[in-house]
Amino acid sequence: MDDLTTNPGGLTNAEKDILHEVGFADESTRAGTSILADRQMRVALSNDPGVEILPLAQALRTYDFVQGLMFGLVDPEENEHVRLVAEHMHDPLGHFIWIKPGAKVKLPVQSFTLLEIPQGRQFTHDITLIDEGAEVEMISGSAVPAEVCRGRHISIGETYMRANAKCTAVTVEHWGPEMEVYSYGYSRMEAGASFGSTAIMMSPIRHHTSRSVSVLGAGASVVSQSIVFAPEGTERVLASETRLTATGARSQDVTRMVSAGGTIVNDALLVGAAAGTEGFLGCDGLKLSDAGEIRAVPSLSALAEGAQLSHEASVGRIDGEKLTYLMASGMAEDAARDLIVRGFLRLSDEQIPEALRTRVVAMVAEAKSGGM
Amino acid sequence: MLEISDLCVEVAGKPVLDAIDLTLKPGEIHILLGPNGSGKSSLLATILGLPPYRITRGTIRLDNVPLADLPLQERARLGIGMAFQRPPGIDGVSVAAFAAALGAEDTLAREAAALDLVDFVRRDMNVGFSGGEIKRWEILKLFLQDPRLMLFDEPESGVDLEHVIAIGQAIRRIVSSPDGEGRPRAGLVITHTGLILRHVAADRAHVLKDGRILHSGDPATLFSHIQTHGYSVPDAA
């Protein structure tokens, strides 16, 4: 692997335990595994001929076309954070995941980022190419050991979905409580591509800005849900832009936010740029205390006749009637509140793997009791 | 089991129940009859401890334990359960998740079949349920909770005839079976239509009007009287 350190199977048991919390499973049960720890690609491994995983720096040297993908969806000068990552363009840290044309990948592909150095700085750039007609399930996440509270992570992700590619993805984030994280995700979906995503952002974090831009071509579709929790001391700023650029492009984006004293800002823009496009934005918030804020700003922009766009936004508190109803069966008030919050966040959704669901349910309980 | 003595209740300063006396023995089913607004639902809500009912006089005891100062969930844990007339929908909380929270997964598997609710376990509680489905679910919910004293608030309203039979049989079954600790149960049932009387062997009926018990007696006789003469005292008709 040239000058880059990759070490298949080289994770320590402690590292595996940390990653298990966000969806990691033994490499043998995955079609491919990418693990980035601190400033090294620790694992870049594929068990499937339809999947290639390389450190991005190596991919740039191996495949000429990867150069065209890097900063293909975002201007390196877009903002100070992107500029910081772009400064490492000559020696980028991150993965290149390539699902080959027509590959029907049976097992999930997993990719995770670990920050193990307290006060560490991480600037990463990942590129994912899901080629024409390929199908894959992705599980990804980020995690820190318990002793890492502070640190800074900036990431850029560029995802290319070629014509008729299909992908379902689950992302679970678990950073340190005093960390600053800025993540930028850009995707381009060509004709007929479909993407289903679930993003889970539950753990305490001082500040996280998550910006995403998706551009959908003819007949491409996205169904995405984000589950966002902000305990006291947490600030999460989500900014998304979905552009439906050709006939038949469809998007459904639902964000469910719970503030237990933290702040969540969700600024979502849906653009219908062609006739025959259809999109929906949903932002639902649940406020569990007087501290913090939930701000939902769904925006619709129709640029063509025949673009059908809609949104719904609501913020409320736990309904006393529901609480009473559950307690009338003998549940303690806290247990009844937990059940309602878990229901609101749709934590029973089948799109969330069982192992992750259990962990996320525990996160809600821990966060509400102040244990996280 | 349940002893209500001289019970007076108000809501926001307005009296809703006045000098109610009622005794329910283990194994008994009593029926509450009365026009809308007569205080039937208020009585059940007061027994269970639902807000905003406030006791201003009198006592309610379950197995000699005074209930007035106990919060809702404590009363439920003592063994009081209610089949609600109009329960709220709870998005994202499936019937199975609710049963798991009560530790009653085995009971759910067994009793859902008896109430023709097998397909319900993955559905969110009361979300998109038809009127009849809600009533059946509320009975199933009591099986999950396993209470000793069961309060049924119009269990047959909005239910088609086929399912009235199933609900009646389910009420009879749960009331006639001992609770998890082998103790006999009892039930208090509000009915407007009287249909449930064909399927449940009720021991006694009480007619409420204007917050008071106007008359108590044999359920079939009283219901027949009401059908002919309205909510009045039979001897005075």
- pLDDT by residue (tens digit) across B60-69? 999 999 999 9
- Is A70 part of any domain? yes
Give the amino acid at B110. Answer: R
Cα angle, residue A98 at apex, residues A47 and A33 outer, rounded to 5°: 40
- pLDDT < 70 stretches in chain B: 236-237
Task: Please count the structural domains in chain A.
Answer: 1
- pLDDT by residue (tens digit) across A123-137? 999 999 999 999 999
- Is A76 part of any domain? yes
CA of B88 vs chain A CAs: smallest distance (Å):
6
Structural domain of A126: 13-321
- Is A262 part of any domain? yes
Q: With H, G, I as helix, E, B as strand and everything else as coil, classify residue B76.
A: helix
| Residues A153/A122, Cβ–Cβ less than 8 Å | yes
Q: What's the pLDDT band for A3 if we cut at 50, 70, 90? A: very low
- pLDDT by residue (tens digit) across A62-95? 999 999 999 999 999 999 999 988 887 788 999 9
Using the Cβ of B103 and the Cβ atoms of chain A, whether some distance falls under 8 Å is answered with no
Burial of B180: CB neighbours in 10 Å, binned 0-12, 13-18, 19+: exposed
What is the model's pLDDT at position A107? 96
What is the model's pLDDT at position A356? 66
- Is A133 part of any domain? yes
Residue A251's closest CA among A230, A229, A283, A225? Answer: A225
What pTM, to 2 d.p., does this model score?
Answer: 0.82
A99 bridge partner residues:
A51, A130
Residue A359 has pLDDT above 80, yes or no: no
User: Nearest-CA residue of chain B relative to A335?
Assistant: B101
Residues from chain A that touch B145, judged by Cβ atoms under 8 A, are 329-330
Residue A295 has pLDDT above 90, yes or no: yes
- Is A280 part of any domain? yes
Structural domain of B144: 2-236
- Is A104 part of any domain? yes
What is the model's pLDDT at position B194? 79
d(CA B73, CA B50): 10
Residue A295's closest CA among A269, A264, A262, A255? Answer: A264
Using the Cβ of B146 and the Cβ atoms of chain A, whether some distance falls under 8 Å is answered with no
- Is A365 part of any domain? no
Q: What is the mean pLDDT of chain A?
A: 90
CA dihedral A197, A202, A206, A211 (to 10 degrees): 10
CA of A264 vs chain B CAs: smallest distance (Å):
21
Residues from chain B that touch A320, judged by Cβ atoms under 8 A, are 51
Edge-to-edge, what's the strand order for the sheet holding A221-231?
A40-46, A32-37, A109-114, A135-143, A166-174, A194-201, A221-231, A250-260, A278-287, A308-316
CA of B90 vs chain A CAs: smallest distance (Å):
7
Lowest mean pLDDT among A4-18, A181-195, A243-257: A4-18
CATH number at residue B169: 3.40.50.300
Task: Please count the structural domains in chain B.
Answer: 1
* Cis preceding-peptide flag for B52 (omega within 30 of 0): yes
Looking at beta carbons, which pairs linking B101-108 to residues 24 or more positions away fall under 8 Å? B101/A331, B101/A335, B101/A339, B102/A329, B102/A330, B102/A331, B102/B144, B102/B145, B104/B143, B104/B144, B104/B145, B104/B146, B107/B143, B107/B144, B107/B146, B108/B140, B108/B144
Average pLDDT value for residue range A285-311 = 94
- Is A313 part of any domain? yes
Question: With a cut of 0.85, is the ipTM above it?
Answer: yes
Alpha carbon A67 to its chain's center: 24
Q: Which residues, at least 6 apart from B110, have a Cβ–Cβ distance to it below 8 Å?
A: none
Residue A360 has pLDDT above 90, yes or no: no
